[in-house]
Structure 1
Amino acid sequence: MGPRVPVATYAADPILRFGVAHQLRPRPEVELLGPDEEDRAKVALVVVDQVDEDAVQLLLRLRRSSAARTALVVGRFEGAALRSAIECGVAAVLRRSEADQDRLVAVVTAVARGEGVLPGDLLGQLLDHVGQLQRAALDPRGVTLSTLAAREVDVLRLVSEGFDTNEIADKLSYSERTIKNILYEINTRLRLRNRAHAVGYAMRNGLI
């Protein structure tokens, strides 16, 4: 067996962090670091419920401040979360429902070797996204309808009609938090400032 992989864990919920630490601590392949040792980490293991604004800020902070490669353990993975995660430098994604001890160790050691890890369905999403980027690069107009997912189009159309977050959530049968996350993902991905900017951008490019 080679040297142990130094791993720093990050989670907003201390219960999630404790659960992952409990899984990793007994394993000889992993050296679990304390909060004051995080600068030695080769892998940053981030555990979240979903890729929301708080999670994105944490991932971006790690990308800027740490030399460690990042692996993400996530409960729910919706919409453009994969694109957001990759843009934040995430090298591996593991759903929390699949994160048993052996799977966690396999992901950590793969990331430490410089590999990327995605579930099969997410790999398909990534390939679709790469295809969209290639088509957009070849399109002289730059932006196509494929830039936005169907539910993103629905949300922006309702915003453009003057509905607020609560009303949009009722109309589309989503939670208010989901609507906010959809808008945040659109703004992050397209580098827009706010809802009004997103609506104007979508209208100018014929997306809604």
Structure 2
Amino acid sequence: MTGKKEKFGILVVDDHPVMRDGLRAVIEQEPDMEVAGEAADGREAIEQFQRLLPDIMLIDLQMPDVDGLQAITTIRSEFPDATIIVLTTYPGDARVVRAFTLGATSYLLKTARRDEIIKAVRGALSGRHTVAPEVAQEIASHTGQEGLTEREVGVLKLVAKGRSNRDIADRLCVSEDTVKARMKSIMGKLGAEDRTHAVMIAIRRGFMESQA
């Protein structure tokens, strides 16, 4: 007869040691949970997941080298049943949708209370999804709106670097008129007033990362 599992192992992934320490303190107050391991970036997260096979992974998205979305993609391709909770600062709707599409189970913000994190972990272990209220509101506010295409994001990334339409056209091997058409489409979809505003909106919503 197989006994009930004593503790669920959780892999904590964040590039800030203080955040990892805080999550460890929260998790280890629970009698049926323990921190199975820690990782400071996406590459280490993949290695640790493969080695430890934790019951659940708590992961940030924006990290150096390999980011959280890349790590989720790799882990889920190898372990389709992996249970992954995103715990991040960024509520942008495009980023959230991508995280769930790639296989995240839940999406929380770092402002979440201790009890909210534990409740989400227990829910994920039972197959339930949790979405932070602020995140759900962000998604709802853009429901029905058309997202940016990969080519449009490519143009906007070059705009964010201060490139002119002519320079962007040369780099992407397209005509300047094509770049202008894509910028018109981007600004229409985002409701942007100008190029700088479009970049700011795209970063906030998670279509692209800050260039800082």
TM-score class normalised by the smaller sequence: 0.5 to 0.7
Change (3 A) 1:101 1:29: farther
SS in 2 for 1:83: helix
Q: Is the contact between residue 106 and residue 124 of structure 2 (CA under 8 Å) also seen in structure 1? A: yes
Distance 1:147 1:159 in 2: 17
Change (3 A) 1:104 1:40: same
Residues 94-109 of structure 1 mapped to structure 2, 5 A cutoff? 94-98=108-112, 100-109=113-122
Distance 1:123 1:89 in 2: 17
Change (3 A) 1:112 1:27: same
Distance 2:106 2:12 in 1: 14
Give a deviation string over 1:122-174, Cα, whole Å, max 9, x none.
34566788x75xxxxxxxxxxxxx332xxx59x949948xx632338972285
Which of 76, 99, 102 is matched with 1:85 structurally?
A: 99
Structure 1 outlier segments of 4+, above 6 Å: none
Which of 157, 162, 167 is matched with 2:162 structurally?
A: 167
Which of 4, 24, 28 is matched with 2:31 structurally?
A: 28
Q: Is the contact between residue 17 and residue 47 of structure 1 (CA under 8 Å) also seen in structure 2? A: no
Deviation at 1:29, TM superposition (A): 2.8
Change (3 A) 1:120 1:2: farther
Q: Is the contact between residue 92 and residue 138 of structure 2 (CA under 8 Å) also seen in structure 1? A: no
Distance 1:157 1:28 in 2: 46
Q: Comparing both structures, which one devotes a greater share of its residues to helix?
A: 1
Q: What is residue 146 of structure 2 aligned with on the other side?
A: 147
Which of 17, 25, 31 is matched with 2:20 structurally?
A: 17
Q: Is the contact between residue 56 and residue 88 of structure 1 (CA under 8 Å) also seen in structure 2? A: yes
SS in 1 for 2:162: helix
**Paired residue total:** 160
Distance 1:8 1:157 in 2: 32
Q: CA RMSD in A?
A: 4.0
SS in 2 for 1:31: strand
Which of 105, 127, 134 is matched with 1:114 structurally?
A: 127
Structure 1 unaligned regions, length at least 5: 133-145, 185-208
Identity %: 13
Distance 1:49 1:69 in 2: 19
Change (3 A) 1:6 1:164: same
Residues 51-66 of structure 1 mapped to structure 2, 5 A cutoff? 54-66=67-79
Structure 2 unaligned regions, length at least 5: 39-47, 164-193
